[in-house]
Amino acid sequence: MSAAADERGVIVTGTDQHQAWQRRVLPPVERVRPDVWSIPVPIPDNPLRYTLSYLFLDDAGALLVDPGWDTAEGRAALTSGARAAGADLADITGIVVTHIHPDHHGLSGWLRERTGAWIGMHPAEARTLPARSWRGRDPGTDRAWLLRHGAPEAEAEALAISPERLGELLHMAEPDRAIEDGDRLPLARHELRAVWTPGHTPGHLCLHESGAGVLLTGDHLLPRISPNITVHAASAGNPLGDYLASLGLTGKFGAEEALPAHEYRFRGLDTRAADLVRHHDERGGEILRAIDALGAPSAWAVAAAITWSRGWDALVGMLRRMALGETLAHLEHLAAIGAVQASEDALVRWRRA
C-alpha cells in the first residue's frame, strides 16, 4: 500500500505488518533501523494476535523491549526472531518492560533464567506487580468493590478476582533495575531514553531514540486501537487524567516514527494523540448524557447505557468487567474536573456536580 495518510492523518509505515494484520497472520521479523529489529511474539486466543518485541543490537550484547506472552510458541518465536536478527538469546543482557501486562512481561522471567539479563521497569509499574498489589489484601476486596459499583450479585461473584484466580500472574518476574523518566538505557550504539507515560498503567514507559527518529510507544499509542484505561479495586488516582496528560507529552514527538507493541508502525504521533483525546472527550460527553437520563446511576448502570463496539449484551465475562473499569476511569476523571460527584453510599451513585 502507499504511504498516504488515512482519514485520521495516520500514515502506515510498516506496510508488511499492516498487510499481515489485515490477513490475520504473524508479520515478518523486520530490521526497522540499523541494529534495531522488530520480532512478533504470538498471543494465544487474543484479538491482538501478537506483541511486537524490539531487539537493539549493541557492542556488548543486546537489549530486548517487551519479550511477549510466555508460551512454547512465544519462546520459539523469540528465539528464531533473534537469530534472524543475527543474535542468540544468550546475547541479550537487558530486558526493558514498557508495562507488566502478560503480553509484554510474560517471557521476562524465562528469558532472565536463560541469559542472566537484567529486567528494568518504572518503579510505579513494579508496585503494581500482582504479587505486590495483592500482598495483605482481603480476598473478598474485589467482590465488595464490584458490588459497591453496582454489579449484580451473580456477576460480582463470577467476575471477582482472587489470588487463586490470578494463578501464574503472582509469579511474574520482579525487576532488577528501576528505569525513571529521562533515563538513558545502557547502550553504546543507541541513545535510547525512557519517557514515562502513565495512564494505560501507572508506570507505562515509551522509549525514544532521537538519532533514529523513533518512539517505541508500547500500548500507549497504537495506530488503530484505543488502549484500555481502567480503574480497579487496587488502583488510585485519576488514570484517564494521567493518560490525557501523557498524550499531550507524546504528541510532541510528531516528527518521529511510532514503533508500537501491536498492529503496525506508523507516523502521525501528534495526529493520533489528538484523535485519542477527542475520543475520550466524546466518551465523557456520552457518559454525562447517560447520567442525566438515568438520574443517579451506579457505574454499572452507566456502563450498560453507553455504546460499545460489540454492544453491552455481547460483553460477557472479563469483557464486561473491563467495560466497568473503563467507565469508572471516565467517571473519576469527570469528578476530578468538577463535572460529576460520587455519593458516599454503600452503592456509589453518580450525579452532575
CATH top class, domain 295-352: mainly alpha
Q: Which amino acid is at 115?
A: T
Is it the case that residue 280 has pLDDT exceeding 50? yes
Measure Cα distances from 283 to 140, 169, 210, 301, 334 in Å: 31, 31, 34, 15, 11
Average pLDDT score, the chain = 94
Residues 6 or more apart whose Cβ sits within 8 Å of residue 185:
63, 94, 96, 120, 179, 192, 193, 194, 207
Assess whether the region 11-278 and the region 295-352 belong to the same CATH fold: no
In a 10 Å sphere around its CB, with 0-12 CB exposed, 13-18 middle and 19+ buried, how is residue 94 labelled?
A: buried
User: What are the boundaries of each domain within the chain?
Assistant: 11-278, 295-352
Q: Could you tell me if residue 81 is left (phi over 0), alpha (psi between -120 and 50 degrees) or otherwise beta?
A: alpha
**Second CATH level (architecture) for the domain 11-278:** 4-Layer Sandwich (3.60)
Is it the case that residue 275 has pLDDT exceeding 60? yes
What per-residue string of b and e applies to 1-17 under the rule 16 or more CB within 10 Å gives b?
A: eeeeeeeeebbbbbeeb
Rounded to two decimals, the pTM is 0.94
> Considering only 9-13, 56-60, 182-186, 219-223, which range has the smallest mean pLDDT?
9-13
Tell me what pLDDT residue 135 has. Answer: 75
Residues 6 or more apart whose Cβ sits within 8 Å of residue 305:
290, 293, 294, 297
Mean pLDDT within 193-217: 97
Tell me what pLDDT residue 2 has. Answer: 40
Digit-coded pLDDT (tens) for 79-120:
999 999 999 999 999 999 999 999 999 999 999 999 999 999
Digit-coded pLDDT (tens) for 178-187:
999 999 999 9
